[in-house]
Amino acid sequence: MKRGKKDRTGAAAAFRRAGILGAAVLGACALAGGCKGAEEAAKDSIRIGISLYRGDDTFINNIRQELEKCAKAYEQDTGIKVHLDIEEAKGNQYTQNNQVERFIALDCDVLCINPVDRTAASAVIDKAMAGNVPVVFFNRQPVEEDMNRWDELYYVAVSAKESAVLQGQIVVDSYREEPSLLDADGDGVISYALLEGESSHQDSLIRTEWSIQTLKDAGVPIERITGGIANWERSQASALMEQWLVQYPDMIELVICNNDDMALGAIDAMERAGVSGIQVVGIDGTTPGLQAVESGRMMGTVSSDKEAYAQAIFTIAADKALGRNVAEDIALEDGKYYNCPQKIVKYIKNSYKNE
């Protein structure tokens, strides 16, 4: 999508759509031609080193695509060349540490790191501090102690509790609208199975806890049939669900999933087994997740605004690279945290049930 000079406010519009536009939020892309400082005027290119914990994660790939769009739009708007060095760490922290070293050796102005092991961010931070290169972490949250080590560290994500409460709300609303959709056997209780992400990921624990708590708080009668860790992965979720369908025949009415890929895995297993009538909810609003909701294969998901997510990462990174004051462009909590907005996406007609 081309963005002409007149469309410079695209980034700000994205933030505005996200409902976070105070006077504070403009977005670096929106600041075309606004770099008046001598230091800024001198720079005609910036280099950003990006390391992803894995390259095959659907959600992370959605963010990567948005980041690439941000860089292109920024170049068109400002005439400043953006070099994005994007690496995938293949789930190996050691590999990621080497990528960080290489980025610093390449003279990157700023790093955007999606940590493999969020509890081991200190090695990345050590290298960044030694090279005086600011870091924008995203999606996998370093521990607070690490985040407090340097004032050039930032973190962008979605609030795990908010995702979970919204996911719970999808079920609560659907149950209130039509109880039989979720209580298929009419015994007055929703029997559910739970698919969880990596046990070390902050989102898994919080999403599981608050999703269930939201149902309890709303007085929805629930009973846990089973649950398991599928590490965010569609294939692992599919294998677990396949097993559960055999182990608990006609018992599961709802599958609550910590993310969309696992929800899709559960649906894959149901489709393979020829089972219908089990409702599935996810979180993320990935491209295939949204398609599944649209077609009625998934009851609903909580969709994070990927454009605003990537824009926040890019805005901080570009500001840092140009020596700008980040606080002027984006409202951060405690000067370093940004939570991206998210919303419920729900299937309206109950065609899935009637398939």
**Spatial CA neighbour of 300 closest among 251, 228, 265, 352:** 352
Q: Which stretch binds ligand BGC (CB under 6 A): 41-49, 57-65, 94-102, 180-188?
A: 57-65
Our CB check for ligand BGC shows the closer of 57 and 66 to be 57
Min dist CB 123 to ligand BGC, Å, is 18
List 66, 77, 146, 203, residue binding ligand BGC (CB under 6 A): 203
List 12, 73, 220, 283, residue binding ligand BGC (CB under 6 A): 283
> In the Cβ-directed half-sphere of 247, how many Cα atoms lie within 13 Å?
10
Min dist CB 261 to ligand BGC, Å, is 6
Number of other residues whose CB lies within 10 A of the CB of residue 49: 27
List 226, 259, 279, 315, residue binding ligand BGC (CB under 6 A): 259
Quote the longest CA-to-CA distance of the chain: 71
Q: Which stretch binds ligand BGC (CB under 6 A): 15-23, 52-60, 98-106, 238-246?
A: 52-60
Let me know: does 45 contact 80? Beta carbons within 8 Å.
yes
**Phi, psi angles (nearest 5°) of residue 227:** -170, 165
Min dist CB 236 to ligand BGC, Å, is 11
Report the alpha-carbon distance of residue 3 to residue 74 in Å, rounded: 9
Contact between 339 and ligand BGC per CB under 6 A: no
* Residue 344, CA distances (Å) to 55, 63, 301, 303 in order: 26, 19, 6, 6
Min dist CB 286 to ligand BGC, Å, is 7
Report the alpha-carbon distance of residue 210 to residue 204 in Å, rounded: 10
Between 294 and 333, how does the x/- string for binding to ligand BGC read (CB under 6 A)?
----------------------------------------
CB neighbour burial string for 118-157, b if at least 16 within 10 angstroms, e if fewer: bebbebbbebbeeeebbbbbbbbbbeeebbebeebbbbbb
Contact between 141 and ligand BGC per CB under 6 A: no
Contact between 347 and ligand BGC per CB under 6 A: no
- Residues in contact with ligand BGC by CB under 6 A are 57, 59-60, 139-140, 201, 203, 232, 259, 261, 283-284
